[in-house]
A = this chain, B = another copy of it.
Amino acid sequence: MMGRATALIAGRGALPAHLARALAASGVPFVIAQVEGFEMENPDRLPVETFALERLALLFDLLHERGVSRVVLAGAVTRPRLDPERIDPRTALLLPRILPMLGQGDDAALRAVVALIEEEGVEVVGAGAIAPDLLPAPGVLTEAQPGAADARDAVRAAEIVAALGAADLGQGAVVAQGLCLAVETLPGTDAMLAWVADVAGACRPDPKGARGVFFKAPKPGQDRRVDLPAIGPATVEAAARAGLAGIVIEAGGVLVLDRAETVARADALGLFLWVRPPCGSS
């Protein structure tokens, strides 16, 4: 199935450039279609097409022109706003399918877009299909290993994130000594970990007890082809500043960007990075 012309529909962040490198390395012809207003990080200065959400129909034209039969969505397109005056007539016909989903959380809106692309006869695949090394197999990737208290904190955090997911909320939580120090909300992972460093960390009942874990997982029932959560070297540094013992991610559900550098930073800082199977310990 490799070799098929691929379109990378790109939003904000570092993930699109990672996938573009993987596509280039595999020799697959590809085009990058970037969402206007949500420009990707583009350190390699790759050529990109930019399309406006108000002119989504033009994206489909681009896919057909380039003979694209496979699409991967990557990067953040959070709560876009539409300018009614810019909406072209063909896109206007699509909006009744998408607009009702916008108020129902990011997942619902993305599912609607994926469905529209698939109706064009184009397959939607996940980042893992393009760059499998972004999704590490279960195991502990670092020299530091989680202990029994860390494993208990991971179980508690997984339970909390699953409950949050039922409300289409965040994908991360910090638990130490069985207690929830923080939950990821709109400001995101970095803001949450900074708050643990500055404020919440002082609430650990036993200052000499387990330092706690940052746990990240996709929402339950999330379409794993789109919008998987991701961590990277900066996440490791933020977790270290928060005084945590390590990071736990759900295997198959969280992307690790710059894996070598992420693991090296964790080893240098003494944190563990545990890729944990969804159902329990590895």
The chain A residues found within 8 Å of chain B, CB to CB, are 79, 81, 103, 159-160, 162-164, 166-167, 169-170, 178-183, 185-187, 191, 194-195, 199-200, 203, 205
Within the complex, what minimum Cβ distance (angstroms) separates A193 from chain B? Answer: 12
Per the bound structure, the CA–CA distance linking A179 and B186 in Å amounts to 7
Q: Cβ of A159: which chain B residues have Cβ within 8 Å of it?
A: 167
Q: When chains A and B are docked, how far (Å) is the Cα of A191 from the Cα of B183? A: 13
Q: Beyond A79-B179, A103-B178, is A186–B166 a contact (Cβ under 8 Å)?
A: no
List B contacts of A103 (CB < 8 A): 178
**A187 contacts which chain B residues (CB < 8 A)?**
181, 199-200, 203
How long is the Cα–Cα vector from A162 to B178 in the complex, in angstroms?
A: 20
**Closest 7 pairs between A and B when the two form their complex, measured CB to CB:** A163-B167, A183-B183, A186-B203, A180-B185, A163-B166, A187-B200, A160-B167
Q: Is the CB of B181 within 8 A of A186?
A: yes
Residue of B nearest to A167 (CB): B163
Contact A200 to B186, CB < 8 A, known contacts A166-B166, A169-B160: yes
Residue of B nearest to A185 (CB): B180
**Which chain B positions have C-beta within 8 A of A194?**
199
| Minimum CB–CB distance for A169 against chain B, Å | 6
Please, which residues of chain B bring their CB within 8 A of the CB of A170?
180
Give the residue among A163, A170, A179 with the most B Cβ atoms within 10 A.
A163
Q: How far is the CB of A157 from chain B (nearest CB, A)?
A: 10
Most buried by B among A187, A194, A205: A187
Cβ of A277 to closest chain B Cβ, rounded Å = 20
Cα–Cα, bound, A42→B186 (Å): 40
CB distance from A96 to the nearest CB of B (A): 20
Find chain B residues with CB under 8 A from A200 CB.
Answer: 185-187, 191
8 Å CB contact of A185 from B79, B163, B182, B186: B182
A202 nearest CB neighbor, chain B only: B187
17 further A-B pairs in the complex, CB-CB below 8 A; given A164-B167, A166-B166, A183-B185: A81-B205, A160-B169, A163-B163, A163-B167, A163-B169, A164-B164, A169-B183, A170-B180, A179-B186, A182-B185, A186-B203, A187-B199, A187-B203, A191-B199, A191-B200, A195-B195, A195-B199
Distance between Cα atoms of A128 and B159 in the complex (Å): 32
Report Cα–Cα, A162/B167, bound state, in Å. Answer: 9
A181 partner residues in chain B, CB cutoff 8 A: 185-187
Cα distance A187–B204 in the bound complex, in angstroms: 9
